[in-house]
A and B are shown apart, each in its own frame.
Chain A
Amino acid sequence: MFTGSMLFTTFVILLGAGGVYLLLPHRHGQAKTQTVYIAGAVLAGLGLVGFLSFLSAPADLDLSQLDKLLSAVFFYSFSASALGCGVMTVTSRNPIYSALWFAGVVLSTAGLFLLAGAQFLAAGTVIVYAGAIIVTFLFVIMLAQMEGKAVYDRSARTPGAAVLTCFLLLGALVVCLVDTRFAPVGANTPGQPRNPQTFLPRGRELAEVHQLHPTNLQRIALAHALRSTSSIYTESKQEKPDVAGLGESLYADHLLTVELAGSLLFAALIAAVAITNPKRPVRPGDPEPIGTSV
């Protein structure tokens, strides 16, 4: 069945794919004229605007509720800047600009985290990614590619096939997500158990239900699976403060995960030191060391 919304989705995906293909470097490294870049930017921008139209604004959006309006505006702007910076990361010729655009992606994602109520993760993402990983990448770029643009940055590797693959994946995901219609959450008739096919049951709803399971075994299993430490809400249905609740869950339910993460960081440190074994310096008069000549 090929409905109108699917047709629109396909059109938007094709716009984005064409724009990104025009913005990507040429396969053989040939220069592209400025007209091609402008056309690619226009197509990709139109695709981005079309993609933003898939995002659903809050249903009861009126100007009197300033908080909902503000959160919608911030969500749209963060999404647009994340996707735009993502396109620029992929298509930039200069790897330094790629790294800087990726910092934009990270900052926008941190804003989206904030809107989803994950304050600790927003701060952690900015600190770890923008503060540490980007700086490492930039450092290595400066170390290994001082002259900026290189020949291999001006040529892409099978750009047509890559664009086809990735936008096919994106189109399939978008069609799945957009065309799935769930019934409104509050639309059940009272007294009737809701049909699980028509909505996505929340974990907190399951946690409420587990107390009245008939057999003791099911109740114990569900109570173990849905512990109170892993819930965002307290017993009185108030939201826990973010960092306190996350820390509680992290060190009560996921203690082994924390230990594993620490061990992984330690192993990565040792591996990085072992890999970058410094070479013996070349002195005048030495024979040419093996491996330096291509």
Chain B
Amino acid sequence: MPDLPAPDLFTIDLLRNYLLVGAALFALGMLGFLSRRNLIVMFLSAEMMLQGTALSLVGFGRYHGNWTGQVFTIVILTVAACEASIAMALVVVLYNRRSSLDVTLWQDIREATVGVATIDEAAEAEPIEVVPGIESYPQLTPAGVEPAHPVQSWTERRR
């Protein structure tokens, strides 16, 4: 048995710290991906899951004393950049179709064999009534009669 190298400063307790923080970031990202309806926030949450994974990989690589974790994190960075570019392209295209970033409006992007969802989530999840509170939008008192102005379809901003 040869004498093993001197004890590394990066002990298994430090590795466990990194794994715990990575696991928490992963779970938070999964929560955002499952529960938010804005497509951009969903992609941000997916990036957060990737960050948690990268943290675990770097901790493992440092513990084992090799570069493999960091190399794989670089691969993750590359894939995240590709994913972001394609996702943003998809967001722009889908926004042009539906004028909204709501993912529940895009239930028809599915295989023909998968049945339509039994609950119309897009209709169900609309606000029931505007409750006065910190989230309600400010309202101005209507001032007089709205002047008649010609509305041209191409000058309207999509919303």
- Most chain-A CB neighbours within 10 Å: which of B17, B37, B133? B17
Chain A residues with Cβ under 8 A from B86's Cβ? 268, 271-272, 275
Given that A145-B101, A177-B19 are contacting pairs, would A261 and B75 also be in contact in the complex, using a CB cutoff of 8 Å? yes
Chain B residue with Cβ nearest A200: B12
In the complex, are the beta carbons of A202 and B63 less than 8 A apart?
A: yes
Residues facing A in B115-135 (CB within 8 A) are 121, 124-135
In the complex, are the beta carbons of A128 and B10 less than 8 A apart?
A: no
Mark contacts of A1-40 with chain B using CB atoms, 8 A cut-off: 1 yes-contact digit, 0 otherwise: 0000000000000000000100010011111111001000
In the complex, are the beta carbons of A152 and B102 less than 8 A apart?
A: yes
A74 to chain B, nearest CB (A): 12
In the complex, are the beta carbons of B128 and A158 less than 8 A apart?
A: no
Mark contacts of B47-69 with chain A using CB atoms, 8 A cut-off: 1 yes-contact digit, 0 otherwise: 11001001100110111111110
A111 to chain B, nearest CB (A): 11
Chain A residues with Cβ under 8 A from B89's Cβ? 271-272, 275-276
| Chain A, interface SS category | helix
In the complex, are the beta carbons of A121 and B34 less than 8 A apart?
A: no
B59 to chain A, nearest CB (A): 6
A112 to chain B, nearest CB (A): 6
A174 within 8 A of B: yes
Tally of contact residues, B, Cβ under 8 A: 106
Give Cα distance in the complex from A198 to B101, angstroms.
51
Chain A residues with Cβ under 8 A from B70's Cβ? 118, 120-121, 246
A254 to chain B, nearest CB (A): 5
Of A117, A147, A166, which one neighbours B31 at CB under 8 angstroms? A166
Give Cα distance in the complex from A72 to B103, angstroms.
42
Chain B residues with Cβ under 8 A from A245's Cβ? 67
In the complex, are the beta carbons of B28 and A232 less than 8 A apart?
A: no
In the complex, are the beta carbons of A275 and B55 less than 8 A apart?
A: no
Give Cα distance in the complex from A90 to B64, angstroms.
33
B64 to chain A, nearest CB (A): 3
In the complex, are the beta carbons of B84 and A279 less than 8 A apart?
A: no
Chain B residues with Cβ under 8 A from A209's Cβ? 2
| Chain B, interface SS category | helix
In the complex, are the beta carbons of A254 and B71 less than 8 A apart?
A: yes
B104 to chain A, nearest CB (A): 7
In the complex, are the beta carbons of B85 and A98 less than 8 A apart?
A: no
Interface residues on A, range: 35 or more
Chain B residues with Cβ under 8 A from A89's Cβ? 28, 32, 41, 44-45, 48
Q: How many A-B residue pairs have CB under 8 A?
A: 343
A148 to chain B, nearest CB (A): 10
In the complex, are the beta carbons of A158 and B34 less than 8 A apart?
A: yes
Given that A32-B133, A249-B71, A291-B97 are contacting pairs, would A155 and B62 also be in contact in the complex, using a CB cutoff of 8 Å? no
Of A154, A156, A237, which one neighbours B5 at CB under 8 angstroms? A237
In the complex, are the beta carbons of B35 and A158 less than 8 A apart?
A: yes
Given that A55-B17, A137-B40, A272-B89 are contacting pairs, would A174 and B62 also be in contact in the complex, using a CB cutoff of 8 Å? no
Residues facing B in A174-225 (CB within 8 A) are 174, 177-178, 180, 182, 185-186, 191, 193, 199-200, 202-205, 207-209, 211-212
Mark contacts of A255-286 with chain B using CB atoms, 8 A cut-off: 1 yes-contact digit, 0 otherwise: 00100010011011101100110010011100
A264 to chain B, nearest CB (A): 6
A49 within 8 A of B: no
A41 within 8 A of B: no
B114 within 8 A of A: no
In the complex, are the beta carbons of B34 and A152 less than 8 A apart?
A: no
Chain A residues with Cβ under 8 A from B157's Cβ? 146
In the complex, are the beta carbons of B99 and A294 less than 8 A apart?
A: yes
In the complex, are the beta carbons of B31 and A20 less than 8 A apart?
A: yes
Residues facing B in A126-145 (CB within 8 A) are 128-129, 132-133, 136-137, 140-141, 143-145
In the complex, are the beta carbons of B154 and A30 less than 8 A apart?
A: no
In the complex, are the beta carbons of A156 and B36 less than 8 A apart?
A: yes
Chain A residues with Cβ under 8 A from B93's Cβ? 275-276
In the complex, are the beta carbons of A116 and B18 less than 8 A apart?
A: yes
A-B contact pairs, 6 of them (CB 8 A): A90-B48, A137-B88, A143-B92, A154-B135, A292-B96, A294-B98
The 7 A-B pairs at the shortest CB distance, nearest first, are namely A203-B64, A268-B82, A204-B65, A31-B133, A29-B127, A170-B27, A162-B35
